[in-house]
Every structure is written in structure tokens, then in C-alpha cells.
Amino acid sequence: MNNSLIYVLGSNVLEGIGNRINELNQKLIANSSKFDQQMQKLYSKIDRLSSNVNINTHALEPYIDKSGERFQDKL
């Protein structure tokens, strides 16, 4: 094999590797974007649930027994 053929083959291999790396980078970016969107949805749900818990706690506050009487954890 002459040097120019080796150079062309090596160049093609490197170009193929570069293309594959670019493809993988694009997939990684897409997956990161999807992950970020899912995390934002999760944060929104957590915020909604915690605000509902606060609302329910405040709504039930007037009905809490103030006697301090404790009941067993198990029947």
C-alpha cells in the first residue's frame, strides 16, 4: 500500500468517527432536553402537591383536637 492510500483510508476512518461522535452528541442533547422537560413537570407536580397539603392542613386546623390526648399507633 502506498502512503496516499493509507492517508485516504485513515482520513475516511477519522471522518466516520467524527460523524458518529456528532450523531451521539445530538442524541445526548435531545435526551438532556427531554430529561429537563420531565424534571420541570415533576417540580410542578411537587409544588402543586405541597401547596395542596398546606391548604388541607390550614383547612383542618380549626378541627384539630386541642386536648393533647394521644392515641395508640396500633389497634
Q: What is the pLDDT of residues 33-72, one digit of tens each?
A: 889 999 999 999 998 888 887 777 777 777 777 777 666 7
pLDDT at 75: 66
Q: Using pLDDT thresholds of 50, 70 and 90, give the confidence band for residue 7.
A: low
**Structural domain that includes position 28:** 3-60
Which residue bears the cell 395542596?
Answer: 52
Q: Is residue 31 over pLDDT 80?
A: yes
- Reading the block at residue 42, the C-alpha cell is 415533576
pLDDT at 19: 92
DSSP-derived letter for residue 64 is S
| CA 53 – CA 51 distance, rounded (Å) | 5
**Count of structural domains, the chain:** 1
Please give the single-letter amino acid code of residue 16.
Answer: G
Residue 10 placed within a domain: yes
Helix ranges, the chain (H): 3-60
Residue 65 placed within a domain: no
Residue 11 placed within a domain: yes
pLDDT at 59: 74
Residue 26 placed within a domain: yes
